A and B are shown apart, each in its own frame.
Chain A
Amino acid sequence: MAIADHLLEAVDGRRGVDAADSLCEACVILLDIDAAAISLIFDGAAAGTLGSSGAPARAYDELQFTLGEGPCLDSVASRAPVVVVDLADPDDRRWPAFGPALLAQNIRGVYAMPVVLAGEYVGALDLFRKHPGDLDGDCLAGAIAAAEIAGIPLLDLLDADLQAAANDPTSNAWAELNALSRVEVSQATGMLVAQLNVDPAEALVRLRAHAYATGRSATDVARDILDRRLTLDAD
């Protein structure tokens, strides 16, 4: 079974922080790394850790927000992966405070993949490793897949009511990723931004919550919005 399938399995039937933690734990098992965390940035200011593979990962991850520099911040700013193959390399001065702090915890390699929600770069999957070096091809593919999957628990987190999703043991991350990647869903998200005067992430959360509450697919709800058969109420 491919790494991506194992990663999807790790979040199936789980929601929110629980799914994010499980995804990070699966990264440690499946990829050649020692700790994983998913961290988020909203409006460049409020920031924090959504999920982690354990207490050490959470500590490494939170350190970057205390120090104001690190892989998640760089990855969101550049809208690209960030890779530091060896923090001990004297020529690498990317993070003058965060680098030495992680070295003191015996971490040498740091790899971050951006997490994207409704087209916005909102955070990163941060991977930490005790030995230096590049991630090999399979690990890299797995890390990118995990960052893609991380969008789902993030949507849960933003959906304050969680509606029917809260106790949905059949939730299937694969089906959800496919539905949310469809053009109708993105177009309807844009329509909701104009109708409700909210940002795209909030609009997508509202569309998805409506789909859950009415037991329909996100695509069907999106088509109804596009054809003006359905309008969602402003809060």
Chain B
Amino acid sequence: MTDTPRETQVLGAVVSLVDTLLVDFDVVDLLTELTEQCVELLDTAAAGFLLADPMQKLRLLAATSERARELELFQLQADEGPCVECYSTGQPISVANLAAERDRWPHFVSAAVEAGFASVHAVPMRAAGVVLGALGLFGSRPGELNTADLLVAQTLAHIACVAILQERAPTPATVMPQLRSALTSRVVVEQAKGYLRESLDVSVDDAFQLLRTYARTHHRHLTEVARRLMTEPASRPDILAAISELAYG
């Protein structure tokens, strides 16, 4: 634990994230970093960004943990759970005691409790009057987010929206293609994780960390590295050799 007051920590995080927005950045990478900041600043155990796809179903764009069980919790929210409700109403939701909501979200609650979570929260992501998706937060202890927590969560969700829509001022006509493009980036990153798992015999979780580290140290976008791995067979040997070096030294 650190003695730095939380206001200072929050401001530090916001400054660092907005700095990133002002230079060239990768949307999946930045949003993964945002989820990590959520966990640090909000006393939660896991966080993830869910975006609406063209069929208005929520899909996972980034999460703190790549562990299968936690990914499943975010993916379950395509059908039910706080993020779906938050997305459809546009309002934040804070559930202090998850176990009491079994009737409301039967599948989601049993999976979340089994994964060791006690509370769950969601704040909306919105731009141009359109709800884009939701930021989902899981706590390992019961308890609501207080007003200050909600404000921090909403600030981080706003930064995520700006990151996704940064190319131009959003209108309803431009928002949807950009959401779709961001989700497609995620598909390619997932493929690259599988590719590295198979090629280097590492876990999917480790594969993601290796891919991020490689992209950062080579000043390349995560998505661009993933796309090259998946669509340019000629680029693979060099990238694999460098990532293998990172993995095994």
Contact = CB atoms under 8 A, between A and B. Distances in A.
B170 to A, nearest CB: 13
A119 B191 contact: yes
Contacts of A134: 173
Given A141-B176, A147-B54, A186-B190, A119 B195 contact: no
A178 B191 contact: no
Most buried by A among B71, B173, B187: B187
A183 B53 contact: no
Contacts of A81: 177
Per DSSP, chain B at the interface is: helix
Interface stretch (A14-22, A101-109, A189-197): A189-197
Interface in A96-120: 113, 116, 118-120
Contacts of B198: 190-195
B4 interface: no
Nearest to A225: B194
A167 interface: no
B193 interface: yes
B157 to A, nearest CB: 21
B5 interface: no
B188 A177 contact: no
A191 B197 contact: yes
Given A137-B173, A148-B55, A186-B191, 17 more contacts: A81-B177, A118-B187, A119-B187, A119-B188, A119-B230, A121-B184, A137-B172, A144-B177, A148-B53, A181-B183, A183-B71, A183-B186, A184-B68, A186-B194, A187-B194, A190-B196, A193-B198
20 contacts: A8-B55, A79-B181, A81-B177, A121-B184, A137-B173, A144-B54, A144-B177, A174-B55, A178-B57, A181-B57, A181-B187, A186-B186, A186-B194, A190-B192, A190-B197, A190-B198, A193-B195, A194-B199, A195-B198, A226-B204
Interface of A: 2, 4, 8, 79-81, 113, 116, 118-121, 134-135, 137, 140-141, 144-145, 147-148, 174, 177-178, 181-184, 186-195, 197, 199-200, 226
